[in-house]
Structure 1
Amino acid sequence: MGDMVAALLCGVLVAVAVGEPAPDPPPHLLSEVLTCQPDPPSLSLSVTLDGLPLFWFDFPGSRWNPGIPSLPAWPPALESPREILPESQLCREILGILGPNLTGQIPEGRAIPTISVFPALPPLPGEPNTLVCLVENIFPPVLDIGWAVGGAEVTRGVSQGPFVPSADLTFSRISRLSLTPRPGAVHACVVTSRRDNATMVAYWVAPDTALDEQLDTALAGAALALGVVLALLGAGLALLARG
């Protein structure tokens, strides 16, 4: 009996030591999505890894562009522009055949975009920075992104990214604005849908460090004054209690 108990305890200890096997990491998703549509941009082609843009094809320029600036150039021997153009032409032909026949027969997909505006670096007074406007949940991929500062349209220092497909069959797009933020200036990312003639705006206000310092000083003074009042009140109550 003692040997059996010892063997069981040994088995339990081994099971505890070994434990459950570590779960396999989730698989990575490398995808290439070609879209064609009546509205501009009529053609788009993107290669993504887990939803992150790796490369996108510039159809007017007939060349691959990196989705991340630090990436190396697209290998020339891998899916050259000569191989892509016939695929895009086939996509257009299919759209021309199916589009008129399916219009009004099936519901059109629509999504409500979400907008986020944030600086690429922590904002510092007088230091150049880049504002990023991230628009997600786009479908169909037809919208324009613009910028305004203090209510005035800005086009200088603006760069636009491609439509990037996501796993849920929607798209995202990024626009960047290079500038040196002025304290208190109001920056607006203006997103316009050409199909719906609708406009959405997201704002970012450059922090005013001088006002923050004044507020900190005022709060510190108020806290000190409140502490003095409470101390005097406590002393008065102590004197009354003794009397």
Structure 2
Amino acid sequence: DSPRSRWTPRLPDLPPWPLALEPPAELLLDATLCQDLRRELTELATGKLPESKGVPVADIFPVRPAALGEPNTLVCMVANIFPPAVEISWQLDGAPVTEGVTHTHYTPTPDLAFVRFSYLPVTPAAGDIYTCIITREGDNTSVIAYWVLQNPDPSEVLETALCGAAMALGILLGLLGIAMILVARRNAHGTVQGVPPVGW
């Protein structure tokens, strides 16, 4: 009730509260029975029921399009984590890397698992192999993802050379086209309209 600043519940009419409640001594016996049952069932089930675990899936990608020698950041996205307890580490050409590495918190996903991101600042060089390793305490296996710079961007020298070659080819083809037009316009007397004959 906003004008009066008070809470007015909107629940349907419920049955009346039972008049006879269990005495405290019976409640204490019920609570003790529940605790004993929980303890016994836990001892029986320990080691017999498998622990629910998701197999992590890792993928590495750069934040921006990668180029040789240009600073960038690699992202290792680890999905399907359950329970949320994994270690993420990085390697460069087989050597551990810790400088600049940051991790996010675990983020829940709609499929009742978790996702976590790890970031590594890099300056890619030719032949560099980056590795993201995901390990879980108690497991004797690891999930590994690799990233290698694919199709590095050409250098500026190569770009300039290709541009110059394309320009020269364009000029040559243009001159060839003009010559072909002049030859096609020759009349039967061996002259081009408006141009004196040149010795063939």
Give the TM-score, by structure 2 length: 0.52
1:102-141 matched pairs, under 5 angstroms: 102-103=49-50, 110-111=54-55, 113-119=57-63, 130-141=73-84
Matched residue, 1:100? 47
Matched residue, 1:216? 159
- Is the partner of 2:99 in helix, strand or coil? coil
- Counterpart among 87, 90, 93 of residue 144 in structure 1: 87
Give the Cα–Cα distance (whole angstroms) in 2 for the partners of residues 162 and 95 of structure 1. 34
- Structure 2 alignment gaps of length 5 or more: 1-38, 187-200
Structure 1 residue 137, shift from structure 2 partner: 2.9
Which stretch has the larger CA shift, 137-146 or 165-174?
137-146
Task: Tell me: higher relative CO, structure 1 or 2? Use CA pairs within 8 A at least 6 residues apart.
Answer: 2
Give the Cα–Cα distance (whole angstroms) in 1 for the partners of residues 101 and 85 of structure 2. 19
Give the Cα–Cα distance (whole angstroms) in 1 for the partners of residues 161 and 143 of structure 2. 40
1:95–1:230 CA distance, 2 compared to 1 (3 A): farther
Which one has a larger percent helix, Structure 1 or Structure 2?
A: 1
Matched residue, 1:89? none
Matched residue, 2:130? 188
Which one has a larger percent strand, Structure 1 or Structure 2?
A: 1
- Is the partner of 2:155 in helix, strand or coil? helix
Percent identity between matched residues is 33
Give the Cα–Cα distance (whole angstroms) in 2 for the partners of residues 242 and 95 of structure 1. 102
> Does the aligned pair in 1 maintain the 2:60–2:132 contact within 8 Å?
no
Matched residue, 1:227? 170
- Structure 1 alignment gaps of length 5 or more: 1-92
> Does the aligned pair in 2 maintain the 1:133–1:174 contact within 8 Å?
yes
- Is the partner of 2:47 in helix, strand or coil? helix
Structure 1 residue 234, shift from structure 2 partner: 0.8
> 1:181-235 CA deviation, whole Å, 9 max, x = no partner?
25547351422345362432231549978x4322321231132022123212212
Q: Which letter maps to 1:113?
A: V
- Is the partner of 1:102 in helix, strand or coil? coil
> Does the aligned pair in 2 maintain the 1:131–1:176 contact within 8 Å?
yes
Matched residue, 2:183? 240
> Does the aligned pair in 2 maintain the 1:186–1:205 contact within 8 Å?
yes
1:95–1:182 CA distance, 2 compared to 1 (3 A): farther
- Counterpart among 103, 115, 137 of residue 172 in structure 1: 115
> Does the aligned pair in 2 maintain the 1:117–1:204 contact within 8 Å?
no
Q: Which letter maps to 1:118?
A: P
1:175–1:161 CA distance, 2 compared to 1 (3 A): same
- Is the partner of 1:235 in helix, strand or coil? helix
- Is the partner of 1:167 in helix, strand or coil? coil
> Does the aligned pair in 2 maintain the 1:132–1:177 contact within 8 Å?
yes
